[in-house]
Structure 1
Amino acid sequence: MSDERIVVIGAGVGGLVSAALLAARGCDVTVVEAAAGPGGKLRAITTDGVAIDAGPTVFTMRPLFEEIFAACGTSLDDHLSMRPASTLARHAWGEARLDLYADPAASEAAIGAFAGAGEARGYRRFRAEAKRLFDALDRPFLRETKTDPITLGWRMGARGLPDYLNLRAYVSMWRALGRYFRDPRLQQLFGRYATYCGSSPFQCPATLMLIAHVEASGVWLVDGGMHRLAQALESLGRNNGVRFRYDAPVREILVERGRAAGVILGSGERIGAGSVVCNADPAAIGAGRFGEAARRATSALPSKRRSLSAMVWTAHATASGFPLARHNVFFSADYPAEFAALASGRLAQAPSIYVCAQDRDDSAASPQGRERFQIIVNAPATGDGTPFTPAEIETCRVRMLDGVSRAGLSLDLGDSPESGTVLTTPTDFERLFPSTGGALYGPASHGWAASFRRQGSRTRIPGIYCAGGSTHPGAGVPMAALSGRLAVECLLRDRASMSRSRPMAMPGGISTRPARTAPMA
């Protein structure tokens, strides 16, 4: 019956996890996706005959994914091959370099050699604080439905009261880092974790220092690339009976008698359903991208609240002169100026640059000939406005190449369309992910209340749920996976509640009370 079917809009990580977990619970699930294959932002671009990760490149929180695969009757190792990275990332300020390692003692020693014993002690204190924040919020916030400050305190309980009173929500990350590190380069390094959720370290709360603990707990190198995770999650769903419809954009989410009733595809085909999980950005619903009837389910996002976008080069190219690791960051000399430019809607004159060398690992060996690269320069989320001009794009490219060359890295990206290099701009990201302006992380995490304002699993319309990196608990592959699991939990609870309260024939014509609209979460 159509009222028992569930339609998942979008085959990003949140949608794939939702679909797989629902199917494993015996639900009838259909995934409809506008693109030609799974992944959403976790996508690959094939250029020069090779697939290059064009989205997230860092795999963390492996135990979470092991839980998801186990819940679907299999194991992560049956679907993906990966190795733990001993070097988390290599950082450069001109000729100065600093590596962080999976072994915290090795990181501490490296920081001591780089900036002195005092900074090593500061790192030890910082690491302990990042862990404390993560441990305090993991269960009551990250793995629970969206909440408010009072309910969060209730969830944390009396034993968690000291942590609740010290969540570092009212001080910026940048200011807090100054209490651990005197060396501005180390402030810059650990402040970069704010960009993992598309935010500025000068505006986001110090609570987000917990991201450093997530990465320090383990980074894994996925054989073949991160996009293999999307393929694995799709296989997980298929094995449990999920139907996938690709090249099938949704024109409208149907709402009948005040609740979800299915979707209408761009082709005009109607798919009836009792529940809809939307893995698109919630702002797209609120902006009317899925029809007027569904618009009130969520709110549109003001452009000033958007997270960062990016200029992303995916390249099959050659490199020389700098000993690249898998993950490399080349920092600008003026971090405040960089983020001031982004906040004003401009590209930075001297940007920091992230280079993922996808064919490198912890060995010292360098690939021979061409290798796969993803190169990122942060950009403002202005993709629904005036596009960058060719001159602005070329200036950004030159500044990017100059930035890495100061550390000794020479990249030969080629100058022609046949060179194997593809650039994705905020305008392109807006086209791929409408109503975002190209923002890659949903709303920015600026201010103490940002995390509480994020869209939750439930919406204002019963039967419509949200999942993905733009929803609670936040941006990034693990958080998107958690959002998918939370959407499933809410949907199944609501379905069970509605089933219990559905009117039934009773002697004397008495019926049970009608189901009430579930509260927002």
Structure 2
Amino acid sequence: MDRQARIVIVGAGIGGLAAALRLAYAGCAVTVIEAQATPGGKMRTLPTAAGPVDAGPTVLTLKPVFDALFADVGLRLEDHLTLHPLRTLARHYWPDGATLDLTAEADDSAARIAQVFGPGSADDFRRFTARAARLFAAFEGPMMQAAQPSQRELVRRVLRQPRLALDMAPQRTLAGLVAASFREPRLAQLFARYATYVGGSPGASPALLSLIWEAEARGVWTVDGGMHALAATLARLAEGFGAAFRYGTPVRRIVRQGGKVSGVDTGAGFVAADMVLFNGDPAALHDGLLGPAPKAAVTEVAVTPRSLSAHVASFAAVPEGVPLAHHTVFFADDADAEFTAIAKGAVPRDATLYICAQDHGAAPGALQRFEIIRNAAPLGDHPAEDFSCQILMFDRLRLFGLHLSPGPVTLTGPADFARLFPGSRGSLYGRSPQGLTAALQRPTARTAVSGLYLCGGGTHPGAGVPMATLSARHAAETMLRDLASTSTSRPADTRGGMSTGSATTGRRAFPS
């Protein structure tokens, strides 16, 4: 090519930002167009009297994914972000007064379980943890790290390791697996909750999702400045490699000419492109919200059924009562009743509450930032009312002995998320994980529309900050391969190319 490849990225979520960094480093002329005023997508913040509070993802796991992202563009994560490993992964409270901390050391967690629930429950935990580790090791390569997951390769893996067929428990849901794995119902309730990490209900999600525990067991980190600092840093670094960002600019449609994507229409005019990377909910394309050209890129089975939504409260308050960890869970009396209500599109009266204490460790009496997340149904034909959720949250916490004296509370519910993220119907995780082959149904980076690519939590390998970051790698590598196949040379000003591992040659110094 005699010029840089022009790439437009629609959406500055974590996937779009990671892809912009990779593609700009590889020498492409990258323009990121974002409807909101700041980068981050769901990784957003809201103002409080104590400063900006995270109002989206709060848990950073699988740190090697981010180490690799920085290394692949000639940088070191620790030079640009400060991460702290948490010794207490999460604190858990039950209505009967039982309390359990799970920690970064498996033996310590087992000892704590033995103290609270007895030595037999500790043995159950060790077996469940070993199972999750085997599943994660088996499926990380052919699923998460593969740009195009293959059911055939998964079958080969199981044939080579027959025990995996038992570990997967293909005829069981996650709720069924944990009920059979733990003699203690409260532990079953705890580990069934991991389905919600990817937007699934425990009773409708495959037992395979037990491997999510292994992702958390490998470590949880906090980020100085909150999770939004990760998004802001990626945007800044991508700009340093030449990417341009246009905020407050909604994309009206993706344009195709001569059978190939040619750019995007915005309220500020047309932006030409050789390739377009869509970092939004793929359902928006399927539903025609970006015009007729990209509708063929996504099939209905790739975006339905929809995953869970949430009610999210963001605020500053002075906490009193039971001690909190950075991540604390207050369990519902009856998990089955909670998810039965959600399945009907209703707001459950009793639900598990997750709290992120962003300023954990602050002095007693200090004003601190909090985020509370309560599972909810996506928008259906008859949207559930949100008005009571804030009252339900704070009343429920008082029953546990936690008293918060909040200032103004911003409550974001399914209808709000539907407005923020077009096509999502309020769902926060894209397609639902229900069904054993759900992971194979998500759309991948390359679409049926020439020149149009996908990344983000709604695409393969799925929801969550590390998975969206991996989707960006898959998209960037796919796009660069396709550019190479149509050219006898790389784009001009290539800064070291791309690799699955860390690029080690041809890097330029990042401007300070």
CA distance in 1, matches of 2:463, 2:343: 19
Partner of 1:318: 318
Q: Separation in 1 of the partners of 2:355 and 2:86?
A: 16
Report the CA distance between 1:232 and its aligned residue.
Answer: 1.2
- Cα distance in 1, alignment partners of residues 363 and 53 from structure 2: 18
- The residue number in structure 1 matching 2:398 is 405
Q: In the alignment, which residue of structure 2 is the partner of 1:308?
A: 308
**Matches of 1:163 and 1:253 in 2, distance apart?**
43
Whole-angstrom distance in 1 between the partners of 2:158 and 2:121: 35
Question: Do the aligned residues in 1 keep the contact of 2:175 with 2:188 (CA within 8 Å)?
Answer: yes
Cα shift readout 1:101-156 (whole Å, capped 9, x = no counterpart) = 001111001111111111100000000001101000111110102334224335x4
Give the conservation status (yes or no) of the 8 Å contact 1:451–1:473.
Answer: yes
Q: 1:71 to 1:303 in 2, by over 3 A?
A: closer
1:338–1:351 Cα contact (<8 Å) kept: yes
**What is the one-letter code of the residue matched to 1:330?**
F
- Structure 2 residue 90 is the aligned partner of structure 1 residue 89: yes
Specify the code of the residue in structure 2 equivalent to 1:127. Answer: T
Deviates more, 1:224-233 or 1:163-172: 163-172
Shift of 1:491: 1.0
Return the alpha-carbon distance in structure 1 between the equivalents of residues 408 and 103 of structure 2. 32
Corresponding residue SS for 2:277: strand
Alignment partner, residue 212 of structure 1: 213
TM-score (norm 1): 0.90
2:58 maps to 57
Q: C-alpha distance in 1, partners of 2:428/2:172?
A: 25
Q: Secondary structure at the match of 1:349?
A: coil
Instruction: Please identify, of 253-262 and 306-315, the stretch whose mean Cα deviation from structure 2 is larger.
Output: 253-262
Cα deviation, residue 420, structure 1 = 2.8
In 2: Cα distance, 1:17 partner to 1:160 partner? 34
Structure 1 segment 225-240 matched on structure 2, within 5 A: 225-240=226-241
Partner of 2:510: none
SS where residue 487 of structure 2 aligns? Answer: helix
Tell me the residue number matched to 2:185: 184
State the alpha-carbon separation in 2 of the partners of residues 122 and 288 from structure 1. 49
**Bigger RCO of structures 1 and 2 (CA < 8 A, at least 6 apart):** 2
CA contact (8 A) 1:72 1:240 kept: no
1:424 aligned onto 2:412:
yes
**Correspondence list, 1:466-477, <5 A:** 466-477=454-465
Relative to structure 1, is the Cα distance of residues 75 and 348 closer, same or farther in structure 2, using a 3 angstrom cutoff? same
Aligned to 1:142: 144
SS in 2 for 1:91: strand
Aligned residues of 1:89 and 1:100 also touching (Cα < 8 A): yes
Secondary structure, counterpart of 1:324 in structure 2 = coil
8 Å CA contact 1:84–1:220 kept in 2: the answer is yes
Partner of 1:119: 121
- Deviation of 1:386 after TM superposition, in Å, equals 5.0
Cα pair 1:284 1:300 within 8 Å, conserved: no
Matched, 1:368 2:365: yes
Question: Where does residue 285 of structure 1 map in the other structure?
Answer: 285
Tell me how far 1:48 sits from its aligned partner: 2.5
SS of structure 2 residue aligned to 1:179 = helix
1:1-20 equivalent positions in 2, closer than 5 A: 4-20=5-21
> 1:378 corresponds to which residue?
375
Partner amino acid for 2:392? R
Amino acid of the residue matched to residue 297 of structure 1? Answer: A
User: Partner amino acid for 2:368?
Assistant: E
Does the aligned pair in 2 maintain the 1:261–1:275 contact within 8 Å?
Answer: yes
User: How far off its partner does 1:221 sit?
Assistant: 1.3
Distance in 1 separating the partners of 2:473 and 2:239: 17
Runs of 5+ consecutive residues of structure 1 not aligned to the other structure: 414-418, 502-521
Equivalences for residues 456-467 of structure 1 within 5 A: 456-467=444-455
Q: TM-score, normalised by structure 2?
A: 0.91
1:77 maps to what in 2?
A: 78
Contact 2:50 2:369 in 1 (8 A): no
Q: Is 1:271 aligned to 2:271, yes or no?
A: yes
* C-alpha separation in 2, matches of 1:212 and 1:457: 26
Residue 507 of structure 1: aligned partner: none
Whole-angstrom distance in 1 between the partners of 2:479 and 2:162:
31
Give the Cα–Cα distance (whole angstroms) in 2 for the partners of residues 4 and 407 of structure 1: 57
Query: What SS class does the counterpart of residue 181 from structure 2 fall into?
Result: coil
Cα separation, partners in 2 of 1:146 and 1:167, compared to 1, 3 Å: farther
Determine the C-alpha separation between the residues in 2 that align with 1:111 and 1:165: 25
Aligned with 2:177: secondary structure?
A: helix
Distance 1:215 1:70, change over 3 A: same
Given candidates 384, 387, 399, the residue that maps to 1:393 is 387
* Offset at residue 164 of structure 1 (A): 6.2
Q: Structure 1 pair 165/144, CA: closer, same or farther in 2 (3 Å)?
A: farther
Distance of 2:376 and 2:32 partners within structure 1: 31
Indicate the RMSD between aligned Cα atoms, in angstroms. Answer: 2.0
Give secondary structure in 2 for the equivalent of 1:393: coil
- 8 Å Cα contact 1:91/1:331 also seen in 2: yes
- How far apart, in 1, do the equivalents of 2:207 and 2:258 lie? 44
The one-letter amino acid paired with 1:480 is A
1:189-226 deviation line (CA, Å, top 9, x unaligned): 01111000010111111111111011110001111111
Equivalence for 2:509: none
* Counterpart-to-counterpart distance in 2, 1:175 and 1:406: 29
Whether the 8 Å contact between 1:287 and 1:300 is mirrored in structure 2 is no
Query: Where does structure 2 lack aligned partners over 5 or more consecutive residues?
Result: 490-512
**Secondary structure class of the residue paired with 1:192:** helix
Aligned to 1:335: 335
Give the C-alpha shift of residue 79 in structure 1: 1.1
What's 2:468 paired with?
Answer: 480
Q: Tell me which amino acid in the other structure corresponds to 1:482.
A: L
What is the deviation of 1:411? Answer: 1.7
Aligned to 1:107: 109
SS in 1 for 2:332: coil
Matches of 1:304 and 1:149 in 2, distance apart? 20
CA-to-aligned-CA distance 1:54-93 (integer Å, 9 cap, x gap) = 0000011111101101111111111111211000001001
Shift of 1:385: 5.1
Amino acid at match of 1:315: F
Question: Partner of 1:132 in structure 2?
Answer: 134
1:40 deviates by 0.2
Q: Output one character per residue of 1:13-53: Cα deviation in whole Å (capped at 9) or x when no partner.
A: 10001110111111111100000010000111112261000
**2:201 pairs with 1:200:** yes
8 Å CA contact 1:88, 1:327 repeated in 2:
yes
Return the alpha-carbon distance in structure 2 between the equivalents of residues 200 and 2 of structure 1.
49
Deviation at 1:96, TM superposition (A): 1.5
Amino acid at match of 1:246: Y
Where does residue 442 of structure 1 map in the other structure? 430
Amino acid at match of 1:355: I
SS at match of 1:372: strand
Q: Residues 184 and 243 of structure 1: is their aligned pair in 2 closer, same or farther, counting only changes over 3 Å?
A: same
